[in-house]
Structure 1
Amino acid sequence: MKRIVVYGVTGSGKSTLAARLGEHLGIPYHSIDDLTWRPGWVPLPEPEQRELIRELLAGDAWVIDAGYAIWIDLVLERADLIVGLDMPRRISWARLLRRSISNIVHRTPICNGNYETWRLAFLDRESLLYFHIGSFRRKQARMRHWHASPGFPETVLLRSPAELERWVDGLR
């Protein structure tokens, strides 16, 4: 396991787990949001994202915390392991809501100095909370398909925080 993607819905704990895996396994961790978002919430254009991700994935060892649809094909070609965070919606939703409120209240910079705001979090149709609602079933189905199909990299599905902790403990 030297090329790992942690996949799941927004708020499922991808970044936290990916950073832990990188540290635990001594593999470089790359925050995809930091790579693909510029200041002012400007996304890196899709062709540039694909090229950046292609270069990152060319390395022998990496842990990433996402698989955006516009370049997931590149990840699936190179990953040794997919860790799917297939948590119940109530868990990922609660984590996302708690994180967003904390980031707003404490003015925590995220993704290259960007900040969440009350308007962005709760009123904007592009908010992570709305995105979570719209993408949950699709991402869940994708993870389960990868897990069930032999044509994809090995896929581990973790369905609860306790299961996640047991799996990480088993890596020791």
Structure 2
Amino acid sequence: MSAPRRILVYGVYGAGKSTLAQRLAGHLGLPWYPVDDLLWQPGWVEVPVAQQRSRIEEICRRDRWILDGAYHGWRDVPLARADLVVGLDYPRWCSFWRLLRRTARRLVTGEEICNGNRESLGSVFSADSILVWHVGAFGRARRRMRAWQSDPSAPPVLLFSSPAALDAWLTDLPPWPARADGRRASGE
């Protein structure tokens, strides 16, 4: 397989999509577009779906990109252009534990998530809590990744069932783009 130039990282909330997208961007020299930055305005105001779709379409028209998620109103856009889907298909306990740990850290540190937005106790204990979203979305995300993997018309899908399996793949992944002399190529 030649090195992918358009990668969709997919998984349930808390699986590590953004962390992986950032690592892949550095390793492969591809631009990463954090989906949360495109979907949320300050004050956790959701960007209208039509505008989300327009933003994603503009990114996906480019030759090189990494996206760390794909949502209902525009999931078809990156799937139609991706060279590779990397699916984080971890067990529920693993992704939920990661989400819980990340949420607690963000509450303590006040870390900004996107566009000035931060976790708060109110958001964590609300009906719209990301923890609640995880519980509802886990099965759907898993079924979706597995369906993509078995669909011959979909881009190639690599599913990782554990962080250790993902780390092993990343360890073996050569930097790209590389030249015949082994040095990294520059530019686009």
Q: Which bin holds the TM-score, normalised by the shorter protein?
A: over 0.9
Distance 1:51 1:149 in 2: 26
Unaligned ranges ≥5, structure 2: 175-188
1:87 equivalent among 59, 81, 90: 90
Identical-pair percentage: 47
CA drift at 1:111: 1.1
Matches within 5 A, 1:1-172: 1-121=4-124, 123-172=125-174
SS in 2 for 1:71: coil
Unaligned runs of 5+ in 1: none
Higher helix share: 1
TM-score, normalised relative to structure 2 = 0.90
| Counterpart-to-counterpart distance in 1, 2:115 and 2:151 | 36
How far residue 35 of structure 1 moved from its aligned partner, in angstroms, is 1.3
Computing the radius of gyration from Cα coordinates, the structure with the larger value is 2
Q: Secondary structure at the match of 1:27?
A: coil
Q: Deviations over 1:48-106 (max 9, x none)?
A: 00101000111000011001111001111110100000000111000100111110111
Paired with 1:170 and 1:156, the residues of 2 have a C-alpha distance of: 14
Number of residue equivalences: 171
Report deviation, 1:125: 0.9
Separation in 2, partners of 1:71, 1:109: 25
Residue 170 of structure 1 and its aligned partner are, at CA, apart by 1.6
Q: 1:110: how far off?
A: 1.0
Paired residues of 2:8 and 2:79 also in contact (CA < 8 A): no
Q: How well do the aligned residues superpose, as a CA RMSD in angstroms?
A: 0.7
